[in-house]
């Protein structure tokens, strides 16, 4: 048996738990949030959406019916050790849950989005034997075949950007796990295509982050095209959700190839 198999089993159980609560009364606000964002039941299932209840120990208690140890749950990034209280507490609380899949499409971790003003807005699983952030690309298992066939990938910044693109038929879309990309992530992409179309948020932070990503993509031998959204739209999700997928298509078509000084 794969030495990491137990962690895949743990994450699969946790995913079922989060999915159950999304459709219970405690998850009604989370479900409404997703529906308001345009999620259909099919999309909720495809992307493994769920809800973590606002409780410090609910997930840990749920796992007591299984044979996994608290140490294993901790290694999987689901519960955190509190040294002062000498006890574990749940990592995700009162958050909409996005399931993160590995390169083979197996659930390996989660990202939780707040429903209030709590910071951080998104909270990811900590590193674990199967959740290695710098080696993952969000949406990869669904997008890789299309990326290979088209010899290009649309690289976006956020989970919702990737989901919006997939739901509108732009399947060759992946999201970086944050505002940067590692050499490992880019090398994975490079094995499937030669062309990367980068479309990060149009705010100052997004523009700054895109410059760093362009550099990494270029150094690994990809042809990088910068996609600029129409004025008035801050990100891909906003553009698509407001019914302007045609404008995104035009922006991708009009994207310009980036030339860096060290390439000349």
Give mean pLDDT, residues 49-57: 98
CA dist., res. 33 & res. 38, Å (int)? 9
Q: What is the pLDDT of residue 188?
A: 97
| Whether 248 contacts 211, CB under 8 Å | no
Residues 6+ apart with CB under 8 A from 97: 18, 22, 48, 49, 50, 51, 52, 110, 111, 112
Q: Which domains does the chain have, with CATH numbers?
A: 5-131 (3.90.980.10), 140-259 (3.40.1360.10)
Main-chain phi, psi angles of 187, to 5 degrees: -65, -35
**Taking the CA atoms of the chain, what radius of gyration do you get in angstroms?**
19
**pLDDT tier at 179 (50, 70, 90 boundaries)?**
confident
pLDDT in tens, 217-245: 999 999 999 999 999 999 999 999 999 99
Answer yes or no: is pLDDT of 261 > 60. Answer: no
Identify any residues that bridge with 88 across adjacent strands, giving them in sequence order: 81
Q: What is the pLDDT of residue 263?
A: 55
Q: What is the pLDDT of residue 105?
A: 96
């Amino acid at each position: 048996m794969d030495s990491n198999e137990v962690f895949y089993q743990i994450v699969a159980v946790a995913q079922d738990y989060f999915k159950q609560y999304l459709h219970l009364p405690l998850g009604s606000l989370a479900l409404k949030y997703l529906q308001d964002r345009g999620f259909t039941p099919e999309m909720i299932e495809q992307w493994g959406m769920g809800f973590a209840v606002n409780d410090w120990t609910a997930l840990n208690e749920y796992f007591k019916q299984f044979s996994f140890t608290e140490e294993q749950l901790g290694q999987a990034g689901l519960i955190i050790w509190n040294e002062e209280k000498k006890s574990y507490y749940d990592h995700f609380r009162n958050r909409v849950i996005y399931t993160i899949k590995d390169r083979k499409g197996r659930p390996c971790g989660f990202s939780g989005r707040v429903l209030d003003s709590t910071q951080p807005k998104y909270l990811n699983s900590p590193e674990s034997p199967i959740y290695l952030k710098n080696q993952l690309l969000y949406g990869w298992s669904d997008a890789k075949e299309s990326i290979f066939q088209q010899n290009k990938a649309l690289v976006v910044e956020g989970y919702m950007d990737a989901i919006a693109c997939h739901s509108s038929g732009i399947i060759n879309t992946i999201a970086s796990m944050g505002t940067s990309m590692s050499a490992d992530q880019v090398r994975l992409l490079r094995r499937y295509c030669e062309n990367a179309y980068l479309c990060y948020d149009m705010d100052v932070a997004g523009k700054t982050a895109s410059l760093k990503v362009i550099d990494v993509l270029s150094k690994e031998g990809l042809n990088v095209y910068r996609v600029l959204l129409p004025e008035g739209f801050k990100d891909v999700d906003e553009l698509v959700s407001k019914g302007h997928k045609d404008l995104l298509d035009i922006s991708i078509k009009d994207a310009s190839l980036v030339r860096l000084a060290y390439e000349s």
